[in-house]
Amino acid sequence: MSGTFRFIHVADLHLGSFLNINGKPQEKLQELCKGAVYDGFERICLRAISLKVDFILICGDVYDSHLRSVRGNKIFIDQCAHLGQKNISVYVIYGNHDVMNGDEELFALPPNLHIISSEKTEVFEVYKEDKVIAKIIGKSYKHRSEKEKSYENYLLDNDVFNIAMLHTALEGDNKNYIPCTLNELKAVPNIDYWALGHIHKQSIINDTKPIIAFPGIPQGRDMGEQGVGGVYYVEACKKEVVHMEFLPISTVVYKKVEITIEDDKKIQNYSDLLLVINDELSSLSYEFPEVSIGVKSSDVELLDDFKGYIIRLVIRGKTDMHNKITNMTEDDYKQFLENINEEIISQKYFIWVDSIIFRTSMVQNFEELKLQNSIFNDLEEVIGLYTTGSELKNELVKNWGSIWKKQIFTENIEADKFDFDEETILDIISQARELLIEKLTEVLEIM
C-alpha cells in the first residue's frame, strides 16, 4: 500500500541489569540470566530487520543506570549501527534511570541513532522515498525526577502521521515521572500515536485514535515482572494505524504456579510433597508461555528463542503436613527448595523454582465445627463481610500500617514497602481465618 510504513515501539530495556534468581542454579542457567536482557535487545533488532521496519522508537530507560556499563553501551551502539546498515533509524528518549544531563555516551553514535534532547522538545522528520511520512516528537529526562508537563509542548501540524514519545507513570501514585491523565494526552492536538514507556506491564491505554500504548519491559527480571515481555510492531498509512501486533521477546518467563493439596493427594511427608510438585511442574516443562494481551500477538519466532521458567510456587490446601510446614526452619526451607530443583526433570523448557509460599491449613471439617459451636458461624459471617465489602476491606488495609503500599509495575517500587493487590488482601484474610479456626479449636478443645 502506497504511503505505508512500519515501526517498532520499545521501552524499558534496562541494559546492564540481570535476571534475579535465588538458590544454586547451574552455571549455564546463571549465564543465561546474566545475558538475557542484552539478548532481548538483539532479538528486537533481528525482528526489526526481518519485518523491514523503517524505524524503532525506544521510550526511556535504555540503560538501568545513567552510568552506562561499557558492555551495555557497546552492545547498544553496535546493534544500532547494524540497523543503520539496513536503513533502519532509531529514535531514543532517556528516562529516569538513564537521565541525560551531560556527555554520558562511551562510544561514538552511528548516524542512524537519534538521541532526543533533554534541554528542549525536539522534532524529527522521517523520510521514505524522499517524502516525509512521519514526525516524531519527544524530550529526554534531564533529572531522575521530572514533574514538568513537557507533553503540553508537543505541538505539531496535522500534515503527516505524528508520534509522541513520553516516559511517564501516567495516572500512577508517584508524581515524579511526568504525571498526566489519559484525557490530557488525548487533548494534545494532531497526535496519532503516543509511544509511552516507564510502566513495565504492556497495555494499550487507548485503542482508538490516538493510540496510546505501553509496550512493557521486553524481558522480565524478577517476580514483579511476570509473564511474557515484548514490543509493539505497528504499520501505519498516512494518518492511520492499519495494523498493530505484540511481538514476544522474553526468553525467560517469571511465573507464579499454585498447587492445591487436599486429602485425596495423601501427603504425609516431604517425599510425598516433592512427588506432587514434580508432577505439576514436569508438564509445565512442555508448555509454551501464554501471551495475555488485547492485541494480536505473533509468537512464531519466540518458539525458537524461549528457554524456560523461573517459578514462584504457592502451596495451598488442608493437609496433615501443616504443622511440619509451619515448623520449618530457614535452613529446612532452603534445603527443601534445593531438593525440588534437584528432583525436577526439565524437558523442552527449563524449570527453576525460585521460592515457595505456603498457604496450608489443618485438616478440619468446618461444617462440623459450626454445628458444635456457634462462634464458628459468627467467624464465617465476619470473614464474609471483609471479603465482599469494599469499605471494610479498605479499612483493613489502612490498619495494616504504612509499610503496605499498593505499587504498580514501574522501576520506582519502594523496597521498604510491601506491595499488595486484591489477591494479597484475600490471601491475608484467608490465612487469618485459618489461624483463628486453629486457635479456637485448641481453646475450645474441639478436635
Q: Is the dihedral of CA 36, 41, 45, 48 positive or negative?
A: positive
Domain shared by 195 and 236, yes or no: yes
Residue 416: predicted pLDDT? 46
For residue 341, count other CB atoms closer than 10 A to its CB. Answer: 18
Same-domain pairing of 33 and 92:
yes
Nearest to 163 by CA among 190, 183, 199, 184: 190
- Considering the domain architecture, whether residues 17 and 156 belong to the same structural domain is answered as yes
Residue 183 shares a structural domain with residue 242: yes
| Claim to verify: residue 262 and residue 228 sit in the same structural domain | no
User: Residue-wise over 139-170: b if at least 16 C-beta within 10 A, else e?
Assistant: bbbeeeebeeebbeebebeeebbbbbbbbbbb
359 with 378, same domain: the answer is: no
Residues 239 and 293 in one domain: no
Let me know whether 338 and 383 are in one domain.
no
Domain final residue pick, 318, 344, 363: 363
- Our measurement of the distance from residue 179's CA atom to the centroid of its chain's CA atoms, rounded to an integer in Å, reads 20
Q: Any idea of the CA torsion for 366, 370, 376, 379, to the nearest 10 degrees? A: 80
Q: Judge contact between 360 and 325, C-beta under 8 A.
A: yes
Final residue before a domain boundary, out of 348, 363, 378: 363
Instruction: Per residue of the chain (447 residues), give pLDDT as tens.
Output: 567 999 999 999 999 999 999 999 999 999 999 999 999 999 999 999 999 999 999 999 999 987 788 999 999 999 999 999 999 999 999 999 989 877 777 899 999 999 999 999 999 999 999 999 999 999 999 988 888 888 989 999 999 999 999 999 987 666 789 889 999 999 999 999 999 999 999 999 999 999 999 999 999 999 999 999 999 999 999 999 999 999 999 999 999 999 998 765 678 889 989 999 998 898 888 888 887 665 566 655 556 789 999 999 999 888 888 888 888 999 999 999 999 999 887 678 999 999 999 988 876 766 766 667 778 777 777 877 777 766 777 777 777 766 655 655 445 555 444 566 677 777 787 777 767 766 777 676 655
Q: What are the two backbone dihedrals, phi and then psi, of residue 78, each rounded to the nearest 5 degrees?
A: -65, -45
Return the CATH number at 106: 3.60.21.10
Residue 191 CB burial class (10 angstroms; 0-12, 13-18, ≥19): buried
Q: What is the pLDDT of residue 68?
A: 80
Select from 305, 331, 363 the last residue of a domain: 363
Please check whether residues 345 and 370 belong to one and the same domain. Answer: no
Please tell me the predicted confidence (pLDDT) of residue 381: 78
Domain count, the chain: 3
Range of the domain at 152: 4-248
74 in the same domain as 8: yes
Q: How much is the pTM?
A: 0.85
What per-residue confidence (pLDDT) applies to 2? 64
Residues 443, 297 share a domain: no
Asked if residues 206 and 182 have their Cβ atoms less than 8 Å apart, the reply is yes
Ramachandran angles phi, psi of 263, nearest 5°: -55, -35
Whether residues 244 and 327 fall in one domain? no
